[in-house]
Each structure stands twice: as C-alpha cells, then as structure tokens.
Structure 1
C-alpha cells in the first residue's frame, strides 16, 4: 500500500511539473492543478487559496466549488478553517467540518454538501503563501499518508509560485511579487537616509526543479550533499578558535543537528513522495520552522537559527547557489539580511550605504557596528529578504524606520529632496567645525563623539568633536572568534590615541552581556538579560579578561593621559572593586619596569537609578561621571528598549526623568566631579538643548549629530530656556517636549 501511495504521489508531481513547463496563463495552470489534485486524492473538491495581502486570503482556483466564487470569496487571516490553517501553519483534518471550532459557512461556494475537510499550508521557509484544501461529501478522516502527500504537493506549489508560475493570474490591485513598489515599516536602529541598490547578504536559493523523477538518484544526491555538509561542520569544530571556551557547547549542538539521522530520514521520505533533493530539504526546513517558532521554550526557539543555517548550507551545496554567484556588488549597496553578525558587517565596512534587517534590535551587535560606521539601519523589516532581489532600487529612511523597495518616481523624488536638504545642512554645519558650541548667554557646551572602530577616528577631526566621550571596546571582542590577545588590544588602543591627536578618549571597559553576546561565550539563559549578568558584573566575575584589558590600556597610553570608564555600575562597591583592580595593574606594570601613562582618570557610567542615590563618597571617588541615557531611561521607566511595544511610550523630556537628571547634576556639582550625557538622546536637537539648559556641559553623540547640535546651541539663550522649563513645570506640565519645541520655533 505505501508503495502505491508513493507511486501516486510521484505521478501527481510529475503532472504538476508538466503543467509548469507547458505554455499558458497562470489561471489556466491553477485550474489544471486543482483538477489533477482532486482526481489523485479521490475527492470531489480541491481549492487553492492564496494571500491577496498580509491579512486576506482569496480563492484563486477550485475544482468542485462554484466557479463564480473564484476571486470573489475572501477570508481574513484566522477566519474559518482555511484562515485557521493559514494562521497556525498547521494542517486541519476533519470528517465533520461544520462541527469544527471556527468553521465559517460560505454560501457563494456551494460547499455545504461537503462534510470532510483537509487543509494544509502552502509555505516556503517561513513565508506563508496560502492554503491548499481538499473536501469530499463522505464523512472521511484523511489518513496520515494522505495528509503527508498533500503537504508534499503544497511544497511544490510554493516552489511554483516562487518561480512565477501563477503571476499572470494576478488581478488588478494585487501586487506582483518582485515587480511592484513595496513599502515596509520597520524600526529605527540608526538614523540617517540612503538610496541605493539591494545587496542580499545571503542570496535566496531558488529551487528550479521541485519534482524528482528518480528517487534513488535524488537520495544519492542528498546523501552526498549531507556528507559534504558534515565534513564542513566537523572542520569548523576542528578549528581551535571555533571550538574553545563556552563556544564549544554551541558548536557541539550544531554538529548534533548536522549528524541527526531523523533529519536525513524525513528528507528521504519526502523524496520517496516525489520531491527533488532540494525541495525535500526546503520542506523539512519549513516544517521545522513551523514547529520551533511556536515553541514556548526559549532555547528551542534559538535552535531555529542553527537549523536554518544548516538547511541553507545544504541547499547551497545541492544547487551550487550562494554568496559566490558571480554577481557584482553595486556601487551603492544597501545590505539586506535576516540578521547579521558584527564580524560579517565589519567585513563590508564603509562600502555600504545602509542596512535593512528582518530581525535585529536597537542594542544588537549589528546596530553597534552600524552606528560606528554611521550608516542608517532599519530593523524588524518583515519579509524584506523575501521581497527584495539583488539589484532592486531601495530607499532606506532610518529616521522613520521605513524602507521603500522599487519606489515609484514620485516617492523617489521626494526622498531625494530630503537627502539634498540634509546634505545642504551638513555643508552649513561644516563651517562651524572649528567654532565652539557657545550659546547666546555665553555658556559653552563641549561636544564629544562616540566611537568603537579605528574607522571612526577621522570623524574626530572632521566633525569638530572635542574628544571621544565613549569608545566602545567590545567591538574588538565581538568581531573575533576568540578572546583577543593583550598585545593586539594594546596596539589597537595605541593607534586610537595616536589618531586622536591629543584629544581625550574615554575608553569604556568591556560591556558585554544582555544583547551583546560574544561568539565564543556561552549565552546565558536569563529571563531578562538587560538586568542580568552583563558589563561590570561580567568583568568582576571574569577578572582575567578585565585585568588583561586594563593592562592593554595602560601599555597603550604610555606617556599620554588615560581615561577609563566602567560600565553599568549600580553601587559604590562595584566601582571600588574595579578601581582597585586598575590600580593593582598600574602597580604591576611599574614593578615590571614599564612606562606608565602621564595621568590616569577613572570614571563610571551612571546607567541605573540606584547610582543616583549612591553615597557622596562615590561621587568624590570618581574623576568623571557619564550618564548612559539609553539604559538609564530604560530602567527608570521599566520599559525594555528592545520591546517595540513600550520603548517609544516614554519620553526623555518627561518631567519625572528631568527631575532625576537634575538630581544627578546636583550631586556631581556638590562633589565637584565633571558629568556628561551620553546616548542617543544627546544627538537629538530638542533633547540636547534641554539637557544643556539643565546644566550638562558635555554631551557625547554620533559624529553626524555634532554639526546640527552645535548650530542650534549657538542660536539660543540657554538661561532663557531654563526659565521656560521651570515655568512649565510650575504650571504642572508633565512633559516638556511641546514647551521646548514651541520656544525653539519662536527663536
């Protein structure tokens, strides 16, 4: 019996392949397909529903239902049994459809006479395309064999859709994939705008032969490809850099997946049903995605990335497609990817105009690198890797978190006008480069820049920054597969100081944990990593790494001033321990006869409300304080800045947050310790001028923000703005944004 089923399945798939190869329109192909599937499954009805848009399914073809209902019957996602299959990505199999929860009767189709129902998703590697349905009059529960067989057919339909087999069936108002303009709303991770051409980080593998005629030949191809994949994985594990420390456990899990017998067996079963080796791999990848995406266990969901990566590697071996396709990177590349690591992004360097990611977060590795490269980054751009093709024209608006793919001429013109205005403004700001940021009242604000790469340092002179208020040292750790050596770090830090040409550089010690996990460090399974084992907590627990970094900083600063800043200090005791550790390394270097820095200044980043209430002694111990605005706001409002639902709900100009900043300023003033504000808000004009009016005399921001901030400060009277702020609070205003914006408009 199974052999006959397999034979029937192969015969049906071969028929579908003939339909795909034959001339004709998309609607004709769909009509033929539904007829052959109904015949093969011995059902009275076969229907294909495809997505008209992200929330709407439409009946595109049917055998057995009323023909006039085609392109008329529509369902919302989740509506009826068809909508349920589409939402869940899982099949529905019932002998009595009307009794099923969520059943919806559609009288225009004439389906009331059909009792049994089997619906399976038409999907391709996480991309939901539609639903394939068979129905019969008899109260019939379809067998597991029949369910599996229909899933195989749905897989081929998904590949046929990817190859454009049904495009001519599109109706007016329904966009053709990869042809019409598409706007995708995402999230802002790095501001800025860019126009260019799509460059896919992982070019999409297209399966051109979804049906296999000879199962034995296809199995042999699969076996050979899997053996090659396993060799590559074993080779990776043999590399000491990849298989050391905490990374060993991660890599061993990767090897376990690659050598899984059940993984191979499921793909071989799909080949027996008539799929080619490539289509069998994609079918298993799609089903694994559906299983793991709905898993409640965080660890299991994370393994989805491992399975995806293995499946993609296997597909590239089978098809010969991949990064080395022969395509040339365009002159104005916009990188498009599902996600990307820091080392890979750094490999592209400043060739990129911008980056668009389906995943990512505002504090991820990619975001940190994009900020260092000063290129716009949009995250959470759903379906961008599905919608985009290499070479497509693309507009990236990092200010608004919007991407325009294949934009219309009117949209492109408006976008170019915006870019031209910004470029013109930057030219005006260039004239201010060597002038101080002195307000009309005579108050001067020091404007520093944030950095993390050697490539950032030219901006120190070009932007007019007075120094580096934050040098992120973790980028040198994130971009390697092993812990960097002390000599490597000392050489790099020395080059940073040389390029700074005497201007101060505040080195923040290693700030890892939370969303910044080193590739060779075992991820911590923490329910809230932002409040977990990170930054100075890691440094004090793994003192060997912190000592090594401090020694590198001391050796790099020979004969020059050294500024060291400890991140995420939450209580005085942590600062005391870290400070003591630095002084021990200074004494050690002196004993070894090494020359020391000309001066050492030690500071702390104030990123938690608790530190604002530290004893006076803490402030007196510090040579400087840097307010880390991103984290401070997150913890003050209890609003996770990685959570899109809440991160924009709370405002830095809320009067309660302003009161906290005033308290910090007062405590620093009493202890006579310099204080700066560092973070995204420091580079936003309205926020920056407000912080300056409150009493911050140093702001640290991305280099591109220095010109606009300096331009604004030089045009206003900060003492007058302070009176406006105080008056608004006396009147009971709870947010100062409207007040400050109105005052600036009148200036």
Structure 2
C-alpha cells in the first residue's frame, strides 16, 4: 500500500516537473497544477493561496471553487483556516471545517458544500510563500499518508515559486519577485548612512531540480553528501585547537550528533521515495526545522535547531556545488547582507564594506562592535532581507533610522544621496577643529576620548582629534578566534595598541563577555535574562585563569609605559576588591620573574549598575578613575532591555530622574577626588554630550566620527549657563529636560 502511495506521489511530481519545464503563462501553470493535484488525490477541490504581501494571502488558482473568486478572495495572515496554516507553518486536517476555531466562510468561493479540509504550508527555508488546500464534499479525515504526500507536493510548489514559475505579465498575477522597491524597518546598531550594492554573505542555494526522476540515484547522492558532511564535522570536532577546550568541544559534539542523526536521514530518505530530489528533500526538512525553531520558547532548543539549520545549508552546498565562493566579484560599494555573521568573518571583509544589514543580531553583539570599529552603518532585525535581496541589487542603508531601502525609487535615492553629501560636508567642517580643545565659551574644557576594539581603529585616534582611548574592548580578540588566544598573542597586540597611541592614554577594559557576546568556544549558559546574568567581571572572577592570563599580557605589553586597566560591570565593591587583588598579585609575580614593570598603573571600574552608585565611599577612593557605562546603566535604571525595540526608545537620557542619578555620581566622585568619564552611545550625541558636560562630567568617550560634532557644539555654548538652565527646569518639576535644553541650544 505504501509503495503504491509513493508511486502515485512520484507520478504527480513528474507531472508538475513537466508543467514547470513547459512554456506557458504563470496563471496557466497554476491552473494545471490545481487540476492535477485534485485528480491525483481524488478531491473535488484543490486551491493555491500565495502571499501578495507579508500579511495578505490571495486565492491564485483553484479547481472546484468558483473561478470568479480567483485573485479576488484575500485573507489576512492568521485569518480563517488558510491564514492559520500560513501563520503556524503547520497543516490543518479536519472532516468538519465549519466547526474548527477561526473558520471563516467565504461566500464568493462556494466552498460551503466542502466540509473536509486539508491545508499545508508552502514554505521554503523559513520563508512563507502560501498555502496548498484540498477539500471534499463528504466528511473525510485525510490519512497521514495523504497529509505527508501533500506536504511533499507543497515543497515542489515552493521551489517552483522561488524559480518564478507562477509570475506573468497579467495584471492579476502575483508581483514578480526581486523586481520592485522595498523598504524594510529594522533596528539601529551602528549609525551612519551608505549607498551601494548587495553582497550576500551566503548566497541562497537555488534548487533547480525539485523532482527526482530516479529515487535510487537520488538516495545515493544523499548518502554521499551526508557522508562527506559527517567527515567534515568529525574533522572539526577532532581539530587540535580544541584540545582541553571542553566548552567548544561540547557545542561541536551536539553538532556531530545532528550530523549522525538516523531520524534526520530517514525523513529525507522518505521524501526522496515520494519523488523529491536529494536537494529538495534536504530543504523540506530544513523548512520544517525552521518552523519548529520559530515556535520554540526554549532558547537552548532554538540554538540546537540553528545547528540543524546550519548543517542543512552545508549539506545543500555539497549536493549542489553552490559554495559560498560563487565566482562573483565583490561590487564597487558592497553592502553586506546576511542572516547573521560572526566577528571573524566580518573582519575578513574589513573596510571594503560600506555597510551591513542583518536579519538577526543585537545592538551589543560582536558584529555590532566590529561594525563600530570599522565605522560603517549597521541595521539589524531587517526581516526577510536575505530572501528579498539578490547580489548586485542597489541598496541604501540608513543606520540613523534603522531603515533599509532595497532597489529604491529614484526620488528616494536622490534624497538619500543629499543626506550623505550633507554629512560628508559637515565632517569636512569638523576637520578644522581637530587640533582645537573642546572648550565652551565659559572656559570649561571637556576631554573627548574615542572607543576602540581593533588595531584598525587606531589611525582614527589622530584623525579624529581624540585625546586618548577611553575604552579599548579587549573581548574582540577572543571573539574572532575559535580558541582562547595565547598570552603571547595578546601581549603583542596590546603592545601594538600602546605603540599606535603615541603616548596618549588607553583604557584597557578586561574581558567583557556574556549577555549577547558569547565566545564561539564557550558553552552558552541559556540564561533567561543574560544581560543580568553571568557576564563580564563575574566570568573573570569565576574563570580566574583567563583573567590572570589577560592581566599578565597587559603588564608585559606596557613595559616601561603607563598602564590603565578597567574592570567591567562592577555591581558590588567586593568584586572590585577581588579583581584589584588579582591584578596586584600578577604585578608582583611579573616583577619576580624579572619582567619590566609599567611606569605607572591606574586601575578603574565601569559603573554600569545603579547599585555601585550607592557603594561605600571607600570604593570610590580605591578607584584611580571611574567610567560610567551609559548603555547598561540606562538599561538597568529604567528596567528597559536595550535589545527590545518596544521599550528601549521610551526612556530618554534627559529624563530628570536619570540625570539626578548621574548628578549624584558626579558628586561622589568629586568628594573622593576620582576622575569620572562617560562612555556610551549618548556620549557621541551632541545634545546629550553637552548636557553630560553641564552635569560635571569632564571626559566623554565615543566613536571617532562623533568627536567632531560634539566638539563643534561644546565650543559654541556656555557649559555653565546650560547648567543653570538644567537646574531651573529640574526645580520647576519637569520630568524630562530635553525640551528646555534643546530650546536653549536653539537660541544659542
């Protein structure tokens, strides 16, 4: 019985393959397909619904429903049983459709006489394309074999849709993919604007042969591909770099477990027996995994499904020969487009890139840190960008607004070019201020430092007019390797950084990992709230070997020169005391070993939690300097996750309560006579920067491109007068000071 079903399925798929190969209009193909599916399955109705846009499904072809409903009947995503299938990515099988929750009766189709309903999603690797439906006029529950068979047919329809088989010049037909302008709303991870051409980090594998003519041959191809995949994964697991690295080895063992999964292989074998090619069988299972991934609440399970997704991509590239290196040349102004990307891969592209657009990512991720280091705009959470974009497509990236314009209209492109030209003109004006101090007209001087994390950043130290590096992110050197870097490698790097600083101070922040910065060789902790979990100094104090090794490298790199060390995410004075004690022990050890000592050593803490603002006075007296980590401090002060777009923009730095907290920190540091700086996105925004200066913060650290605009504004206003404006507005009971501050600045 099962063999007969397989034969029926293969006959139908071969017929679909013939329809795909034959010349004809897209609508003609759809009409033929619904006829053949209904005939093969013995149903009165077969209908194909495709997405007209991201939220709207349209009846595009039918056998059995009223023909006049085609291209007229539309449903919203989630509406009716068809919309339910599209939203969930799972089939609906019922003998009594009107009794199902969410059923919607569409009178224009005449479907009231067909109570039996089976709908399966038409989807391709996470991309929802539509819904395939069969219906009967008797109360019939479709068998598991019939459901499975229809899912196989839907997979072929997904590939045909991707290949453009259903597009035509008819005004009623579906809009042609990859042709029209598209604006995507994402999130800002790095400001700036760039125009260029799409460069896909991993070009999509195109399955041109969804139907397999010879199941035995396709099974042999699948087994050969899986064996090659397993060999590659096994060699990754046994790499000498992983010796003694239990966390990374554990992650790859999970990877290997998937590659050797018998059930994964069995499902693909069954798909091939039904008539799919090896590639289409892999994609069908990958699509099913993506659907499960989107529904999974458990972050550990989502990560494991990501592993399976990545394995499927590797297997598809083996089967099709469509590797990452397709032979295409990088365009003149490449904008990198990817689902996500690691820091090492992003650094390989380097400064050739003009911008980056990611479907995933986060504002504090290592990709965002690298983008800041490269001074290129980055937009994250750009939904469906890898699906919609093709290599070479014109693209505009607005990192200031978190917008992406793909294949923009001329009017949009012209306005965007005007914006870029204005920004370039402004930067040229700021260049004349490079060697001038950031001194207000009242005589108050603010020191402007830059943030860095790569050697590539250091040329900006002189070009931007920065007075030093207020934050050097040491974690990037850990993130871009697949093993813990050696002490000698780090010492050499830190020595080069100090050399390139040409005597200007560099504040080295010790390893700040955790939260959204997870080392590739470190086992994820799967914490419910990683931003408030095991991260930064907490990791350093628990894994003291890594902290000690990093401190030894910093001491050796600073031989005969000043060393500034900053411990991140101090939430309690005891954490600073422990870290300070370890540093002193390493200094003593290095001295006993005969190594040259730093000429001077300054030790500071990053104030990123409200708790440490209320620490005993002794804490501030112990510190040689304190740096406010504005991004995290604001996040914890307002209890607003900065990765959550729904809440992070609701809270303003110029909120009276937050400014009052900053004012208290300024007073405590002044009492203890400890220098105070502010590091974070707000330091690089001119209005926020002058407000911070007016509160008494005399050192600001920002990205190099922000130094010119901030210095320009500081030199045009009286910091002491602005302080009076702030005090008066605060005394008047205002809960937010942005309006009085901006109005006063406008008058200046």
CA distance in 1, matches of 2:17, 2:171: 24
Cα RMSD (Å) of the superposition? Answer: 1.0
Q: Give the structure 1 partner of residue 215 of structure 2.
A: 215
Deviation at 1:55, TM superposition (A): 1.0
User: Corresponding residue for 2:450?
Assistant: 449
CA distance 1:170–1:361, change in 2 (3 Å) = farther
Which residue is 2:119 aligned to?
119
**2:386 corresponds to which residue?**
385
Q: Does residue 87 in structure 1 map to residue 114 in structure 2?
A: no
Structure 1 residue matching 2:168: 3-state secondary structure: helix
Matches of 2:742 and 2:116 in 1, distance apart? 64
Matched, 1:735 2:736: yes
Deviations 1:140-160 (A, max 9, x none): 111111101100110000000
Cα distance in 1 for residues equivalent to 2:26 and 2:526: 49
The superposition leaves residues 421-479 of structure 1 with CA deviations (integer Å, 9 ceiling, x where unpaired) of 00000000001000000111110110000000000000000000000000000000111
Q: How far, CA to CA, are the matches of 1:647 and 1:247 in structure 2?
A: 33
Equivalent residues of 1:293, 1:304 under 8 A apart? no
Q: Which moved more, 1:163-172 or 1:500-509?
A: 163-172
Q: CA deviation at 1:170?
A: 6.2
Cα distance in 2 for partners of 1:564, 1:174 equals 60
Determine the structure 2 residue equivalent to 1:285: 286
- 2:122 and 2:206 map into 1 onto residues whose CA distance is 16
Report what 1:685 is aligned to. 686
Q: Name the structure 1 match of 2:144.
A: 144
* Alignment map for 1:569-588 (pairs within 5 Å): 569-588=570-589
Q: What is the CA–CA distance in structure 1 between the aligned matches of 2:172 and 2:32, rounded to whole Å?
A: 22
Q: Equivalents in 2 of 1:524, 1:247: separation in Å? A: 13
- TM-superposed CA distance for 1:289, in Å, is 1.5
Shift of residue 172, structure 1, vs aligned partner = 6.4
Cα shift readout 1:642-662 (whole Å, capped 9, x = no counterpart): 122211111111000000000
State the distance in 2 between where 1:502 and 1:202 align: 42
The alignment's TM-score, normalised by the length of structure 1, stands at: 0.99
What CA distance in whole angstroms lies between the structure 2 residues aligned with 1:609 and 1:705? Answer: 27
1:64-79 alignment, distance < 5 Å? 64-79=64-79
Say whether residues 1:469 and 2:470 are aligned partners: yes
What is the CA–CA distance in structure 1 between the aligned matches of 2:294 and 2:470, rounded to whole Å? 41
* 1:250 aligned residue: 251
- Cα deviation for residue 326 of structure 1 reads 0.7
In the alignment, is residue 506 of structure 1 matched against residue 515 of structure 2? no
Corresponding residue number in structure 1 for 2:613 = 612
3-state SS, counterpart of residue 13 of structure 2: helix
Moved more, 44-53 or 160-169: 160-169
Structure 2 Cα separation of the partners of residues 379 and 588 of structure 1: 45
Paired position in structure 2 for 1:556? 557
Equivalent position SS for 2:646: coil
Shift of 1:525: 2.2
Q: Over residues 263-305 of structure 1, what are the superposed CA-to-partner deviations in whole Å (9 max), with x where a residue is unaligned?
A: 1110010001110000000001111221232123221111121
SS at match of 1:449: strand
Q: After superposition, what is the alpha-carbon deviation per residue over 1:20-60, rounded to whole angstroms, capped at 9, x for unaligned?
A: 11111111110111011110011111000011111111100
2:116 and 2:193 mapped to 1: Cα distance? 54
Write the mapping of 1:4-403 to structure 2, written as runs, cut at 5 A. Answer: 4-168=4-168, 171=171, 175-242=175-242, 244-403=245-404
User: Is contact 1:558-1:597 (8 Å) kept?
Assistant: yes
Task: Please name the residue that 1:719 is paired with.
Answer: 720
Q: Structure 2 CA distance, aligned partners of 1:529 and 1:718?
A: 38
Q: Tell me how far 1:528 sits from its aligned partner.
A: 1.0
* Matched position secondary structure for 1:362: coil
Shift of 1:572: 1.1
1:81/1:664 Cα in 2 relative to 1: closer, same or farther (>3 Å)? same
Unpaired runs of 5+ in structure 1? none
The alpha carbon displacement at 1:174 in A equals 5.9
> Is the CA contact 1:242–1:251 (under 8 Å) kept in the aligned structure 2?
no
CA displacement at 1:68 relative to structure 2: 0.4
Secondary structure of 1:589's match? helix
The offset of 1:227, in angstroms, is 0.4
Q: Shift of residue 214 of structure 1?
A: 0.4
- Aligned equivalents of 1:289, 1:519: Cα separation in 2: 22
SS of 1:347's equivalent?
helix
Of the structure 1 ranges 638-647 and 254-263, higher mean CA displacement relative to structure 2 is found in: 638-647
Counterpart contact for 2:26–2:173, Cα < 8 Å:
no
Q: Does 1:568 align with 2:580?
A: no
Alpha-carbon distance, 1:340 to partner: 0.7
Alignment check: 8 A CA contact 1:170 1:176 kept: no
Quick check: 1:474–1:511 contact (8 Å CA) kept in 2? yes
Q: Return the alpha-carbon distance in structure 2 between the equivalents of residues 395 and 176 of structure 1.
A: 21
CA distance in 2, matches of 1:254, 1:206: 25
CA offset at residue 242 of structure 1?
Answer: 4.1
User: Match of 1:417?
Assistant: 418
Q: For the structure 1 residues 450 and 624, does the alpha-carbon distance in structure 2 shift closer, same or farther, using more than 3 Å as the test?
A: same
Q: Equivalent residue of 1:646, what SS?
A: helix
1:98-145 CA distances to partner (integer Å, 9 max, x unpaired)?
111111111100111111010000000110000000011111111111
**Distance between the aligned counterparts of 1:75 and 1:641, measured in 2?**
35
Tell me the SS of whatever aligns to 1:554. helix
Q: CA deviation at 1:176?
A: 2.3
Structure 1 residues 170, 476: closer, same or farther in 2, change over 3 A?
farther
Q: Distance in 1 between matches of 2:348 and 2:360?
A: 20
In the TM superposition, residue 245 of structure 1 has moved relative to its aligned partner by: 2.5
Give the CA deviation at 1:169. Answer: 6.3
Q: Per the alignment, in what secondary structure is the counterpart of residue 568 of structure 2?
A: strand
Aligned to 2:460: 459
Contact 2:129–2:158, Cα closer than 8 Å, also in 1: yes
Q: Tell me, what secondary structure is at the counterpart of 1:517? A: coil
Report the 3-state secondary structure (helix = DSSP H, G, I; strand = E; otherwise coil) of the residue aligned with 1:614: coil
Higher mean C-alpha deviation, range 723-732 or range 161-170 = 161-170
Which stretches of structure 1, 4 residues or longer, exceed 3 Å deviation after superposition?
169-175
Distance 1:375 1:172 in 2: 42
Instruction: Report the CA distance between 1:218 and its aligned residue.
Output: 0.3
SS in 1 for 2:246: coil
Aligned residues: 747
Q: Which moved more, 1:588-597 or 1:117-126?
A: 588-597
Deviations for 1:363-414, whole angstroms, at most 9, x for unmatched residues? 1111111111111000000000000011111100000000001111111100
Q: Distance in 2 between matches of 1:115 and 1:648?
A: 48
Distance 1:293 1:430 in 2: 48
Describe the superposition over 1:45-98 as per-residue Cα deviations: whole angstroms up to 9, x where unpaired.
100001111111110000110000001101111111111111111000111111
The CA distance in 2 between the partners of 1:288 and 1:499, in whole Å, is: 48
How much has 1:588 moved relative to structure 2? 1.1
Q: Is the 8 A contact 1:397 1:403 kept in 2?
A: yes
- Give the distance between the partners of 2:35 and 2:178, measured in 1 at CA: 29
Q: In the aligned structure 1, how far is the partner of 2:251 from the partner of 2:570?
A: 30
Contact kept? 1:254, 1:306, Cα under 8 Å: yes
Q: 2:222 & 2:51 partners in 1: Cα distance?
A: 32
Q: TM-score, normalised by structure 2?
A: 0.99
Aligned counterparts, 1:589-738, within 5 A: 589-738=590-739
**Equivalent-residue separation in structure 2 for 1:14 and 1:172 (angstroms):** 28
Distance 2:614 2:115 in 1: 70
